[in-house]
Amino acid sequence: MKKYSFLSMTLFVSLLSVHGMSQQEKYRNKDVPVDERVNDLLGRMTLDEKIDLLGGTGFASKKNDRLGIPELRMSDGPLGVRWGKSTAFPSGICLGATWNPALVEKIGAAIGREVKGHDRHVLLGPCVNIARIPQGGRNFESFGEDPFLTSRMAVGYIHGVQSEGVAATVKHYACNNQEYQRMFVDTKVDERTLREIYLPAFKSAVQEAHVLCVMNAYNKINGSFAAENTFLLKEVLKDEWGFTGLVMSDWGAVHSTIPTARGSMDLEMPFGEYLNRASLTKAMEQGVVKESDINEKVKRILRVLFSMKLFEKPSLGDSSLLGSKENRMIAYEAAREGIVLLKNEDHILPLDFSKLKSLAVIGPNAATCRTGGGGSSMVDPIEASSTLEVLKKEYSRTINIQYAAGVYLGGDTPPIRSQFLRTENGEQGLLGEYYSNRTFDGKPSFSRIDSMVNFDFGENGSKSDFPKYNFSVRWTGKIHAPKTGEYTLEVLSDDGIRVWLDGKLVIENWNDHGPEANSFRLLMEDQKEYQIRIDYYQHGGGAVAKLGWYSPQKDPISEAVQAAKQSDAALLFVGTAPNIETEGSDRETLILPRDQDRLIQEVLKVNRNTIVILNTGSPVLMDPWVGQVKGVVQAWFGGQEMSKGMVEVLSGVYNPSGKLPITFPHSWEDCSAYSSYKKKDSVTEYTDGIYVGYRHFEKKKISPLFPFGFGLSYTSFQYSDLNTTVEQQGNQLQVEVSLSITNEGKREGAEVVQVYVRDVAPDVDRPVKELKAFKKVMLQAGEKQVVRMLLKKDAFSYYDDGKKAWTLRPGTYALHVGGSSKDIRLTKMVEVQ
């Protein structure tokens, strides 16, 4: 009996120990549901540990060694991974121009693989802000002006990224539609406009793509900063849409402790400047912040970590995923498919290169591959051949190819070489003094002789033991010219820079910004030395500093004209560059910069077989020359593989199928934001309401230069046999649209069939028509296909401000089907109840 009792007690104690161990390790058990693991771990954390988790470490969340909580490592996107060399993928606007969500999903998956290749966990993309202002500095990152098109692209992109076990971050929530005063501007916008134009892509990202992370914007929305905007973050995002992931701030977008802590922003980046132990403990002692506020934020961070299985495998690193053949092929396919043929008079394209004996390749973008715009999305490409290089490789054996830049864009100036720079001790170059702070305080961390000022530190810093951000550099020495003449000194910087010559301040751009070029013109005498000092600071993101000059030479436009005059055809590669279209600032004008309009006009005078290729992230004005040129191609910023795709379009190897995701206007005055943009300091009023992009042009009956959805092909398509089937039961509505489309040409091609919905007799103000469905169809020569698309209730609904709800008005609706917002081929009326 005693023996039995002893054994029973031993067994009982053993079972109790196992049970206790199980309870102790519950959050470590991968078979336990995520929310149970979250709650178990939360209960084991001290208050200080919870608070620590709310602030980042630069590009990661904090880890907790005691409890084994891994960090959440992040990298900028959305055009690839900005963390060392990576594949540079096409810009968002280029992806939008493909009108191909399935292809965009492949792009997302490829970027996800590269995130893992750099052993990061979170991609800071996609960007889904609507292109309201045509000169917006970050338009190139997003998918265009239409909320439905943007939603479809966003869902595809996020599905792709997260299919690779990487978290996507949809941004910037919300109304970050301009860079001008973006850090503090107050966007005044009514709720209907928010719901119909600026929020749909975010809603789709949450409810369809199940995005894991959301990044709030810098700006205010109706008086409240995005990071502490209760209506957007709590009432809409979390309560109404059911978002369960984490909300992180944009870098430096938090402005308060108490409103932010009590609100629904979860993770302050890059550091916990406001959400930290000192500030939050004090707020809790005062009773204005509760521990439950902290717990809610921590739970969301933990939920993402558990959902991504990072407790089991905190490292995703696999360097073989970087720049793979598969990833490069997908980047190439998307760059090619996003190219839009805007004009093709006399069928000048495709060019028959077998009949050309000479070719002029001209323009500031011919010898440089414009992979993307400037700022945090800029990727350091693994390899990026220029179109000039590809053309020479393909055709230089049979065609005499002449190159002339014609004009130089800001930032393209060649760096001043060491033989024209001298330190006070007579060494070639300049003395560089590097400070580990932004204000040149104390002694330099190190000094060295820099042969040139020509640096792009990216996210990896200048030296392994030197800060990646929050540093400053002072370069001093002397400069002399090789011969007497007028020189233009130019500095490219990201962030602040100042330049002194002989003690006189000649260039000053002392603020945070993306890559920007500033210049100063002066007469320099042969061999005379001038004292030079350059002060530079870097705050966050990438670090760029470059000193260059233009030396005296004959007019570069005249050189381009001469090349065109001697050639059978001329290819003019014009547009913008990363320091012109960039995060941190909007373009001042829609005019092509640096005298490119004159370059085009002068070339057209001597060569009628001229084709203009535009590398831009948003519209430019073309009226001064578009009537005289035969061919115009919109190539966007197409990533590192764009040049090969561009040559295939020009030569006819590939039939272009891109369509504009944004309206191209004749003038800035024609655009919806013209009357409100920059009209008030620190405030922007969305007086255009729901009438953004083509909605505005149609309401005001303004003819655009090129309409939304427009794009030519080397073949032609016929639309016929439009039919509709309406199924309505209770609150459910489904309208099937079917039609036939035929390729009437002699070569295969793809057409984007677009469906626009119009309320025939609205009882509230509604657009003339709105995009509600589209499908890209590939057809062989002579082939006919039946295309089917579904429209549901939301395709016919509008947001009723009074009811605070989406509303369907029973009545007659017109379904317009065609190849663009202006090119409507078929129309059918349907009745809905």
Which positions are annotated as active-site residues?
250
> What gap in Å lies between CA 328 and CA 772, rounded to an integer?
32
> What gap in Å lies between CA 618 and CA 625, rounded to an integer?
18
What six digits make up the tokens of 461? Answer: 């810093």
What six digits make up the tokens of 684? Answer: 């922007």
Is omega for the bond preceding 172 within 30 degrees of 0, making it cis? yes
What six digits make up the tokens of 172? Answer: 């910037």
| Displacement of CA 234 from its chain's centroid (Å) | 26
Instruction: Specify the DSSP element, H or E, that contains 262.
Output: helix 258-262
Residue pair 663/707 in contact (Cβ under 8 Å)? The answer is yes
CB atoms within 10 A of CB 465: 9
Residue pair 815/755 in contact (Cβ under 8 Å)? The answer is yes
Q: Could you please report the per-residue DSSP string of 195-237?
A: IIIISHHHHHHHHTS--SEEEE-SSEETTEEGGG-HIIIIIII
91 HSE (CA, 13 A, CB side): 35
Q: Report residue 460: phi and psi, to 5°.
A: -105, 5
Taking the CA atoms of residue 169, residue 174, residue 178 and residue 183 in that order, the dihedral angle to the nearest 10 degrees is -90
- The CA R_g of the chain, rounded to the nearest whole Å, is 29
Q: Report residue 261: phi and psi, to 5°.
A: -65, -40
Instruction: Specify burial of residue 10 (Cβ count, 10 A radius: 0-12, 13-18, 19+).
Output: exposed
Spell out the long-range contacts of 439-448 with Cβ–Cβ below 8 A and sequence spacing 24 or more.
439/472, 439/537, 440/472, 440/474, 440/535, 444/474
SS (H, E, C) 5-70: HHHHHHHHHHHHHHHHHHHHCHHHCCCCCHHHHHHHHHCCCCHHHHHHCCEEECCEECCECCCCEC
> What gap in Å lies between CA 146 and CA 751, rounded to an integer?
19
β-strand partners of 537? 472
The residues, any chain, with a CB within 8 Å of residue 765's CB and separated by 6 or more, are none
Q: Nearest Cα to 644, choosing from 90, 47, 79, 95? A: 90
Q: Nearest Cα to 764, choosing from 192, 224, 148? A: 192
What six digits make up the tokens of 545? Answer: 């500093």
Residue pair 774/737 in contact (Cβ under 8 Å)? The answer is no
Residue 527 DSSP SS3: coil
Q: Nearest Cα to 147, choosing from 189, 194, 191, 201? A: 201
334-346 burial code (b ≥16 CB/10 A, e <16): bbbbbbbbbbbee
* Single-letter residue type at 199: L
Q: Could you please report the per-residue DSSP string of 124-176?
A: E--B-----STT-TTGGGS--S-HHHHHHHHHHHHHHHHHTT-EEEEEEETT-
Largest CA distance in the chain: 113
What six digits make up the tokens of 270? Answer: 């890059």
